[in-house]
Amino acid sequence: MAVDKKIFPTKGNLMATKKSLKLAKMGYGLLDKKRNVLIKEMMSLVEKVSLMRSEITNSYAQAYYDLQLANISKGVIRDISDSINIETGVNIKYRSVMGVEIPNISIDTKELRPGYGFSNTNSQIDKAYVSFNKVKELTAILAEVDNSVYRLANEIRKTQKRANALQNIVIPNLEDTVKFIADALEEKEREEFSRLKVIKANKEKDVQL
């Protein structure tokens, strides 16, 4: 690993580098914890959709089948569909998971009241209307999960990148720098000890003379 040789091997720099190393390890621990929490949250959302996959697939298929039958029974029902009110009861709130804003989508529950008249419609159109209302609710769930998974996956990728940089670059470099400074100080102490021994020996020799 690379060692910053511009750092002078002093006790002050050794203490400062050890402090930086401690903070880097602490930062890695926090990032690792954050990553695990985000992954757990994302997997719970994926599991939620997996459990509903059959219901979602069947509901979409049923809705379009009912629409096809409605078109067959009354011709193309574009004019009727245009009379359906636009949904305005969609509510979006956010909750924070380790700093990531996750959407929570809900639709106001209300009694189904088709906006079209009954003179030019039939029960098959009503059935299609009910089926697509269910699809609307499931679409809100899908939108919530898709957006949440995207946000979580993006943050997991960023967190993983930062954690890898700390684990594979920053921490090893700091450890090597600590070793470099410690070894240099130890070598300096040995040299100083040897120098003092020589001085002491010379003094004792002078005394004997």
Closest to 149 measured CA to CA, from 107, 106, 108, 97:
97
168 occurs within a structural domain: yes
Closest to 59 measured CA to CA, from 113, 123, 139, 124:
139
185 occurs within a structural domain: yes
Question: Distance (Å, rounded) from C-alpha 146 to C-alpha 152?
Answer: 10
6 occurs within a structural domain: no
5 occurs within a structural domain: no
**Residue 157: which CATH number?**
1.10.287.3240
Question: Distance (Å, rounded) from C-alpha 130 to C-alpha 113?
Answer: 10
State the residue range of the domain holding 108.
11-208
Read off the pLDDT of residues 139-161 as tens digits, 9 standing for 90 and up: 888 889 989 999 999 999 999 99
Q: What is the tally of structural domains in the chain?
A: 1
Read off the pLDDT of residues 90-133 as tens digits, 9 standing for 90 and up: 899 999 999 999 999 888 877 776 666 666 677 888 888 889 88
202 occurs within a structural domain: yes
Tokens standing for residue 190: 């040995």
2 occurs within a structural domain: no
3 occurs within a structural domain: no
Question: Distance (Å, rounded) from C-alpha 47 to C-alpha 56?
Answer: 14
Report the pLDDT averaged over residues 17-41: 95
195 occurs within a structural domain: yes
Tokens standing for residue 109: 């529950």
Single-letter amino acid code for the residue at 46: V
Evaluate if pTM is beyond 0.85. Answer: no
Model confidence at 63, in pLDDT bands (50, 70, 90)? very high
Predicted confidence at residue 178, as pLDDT, reads 93
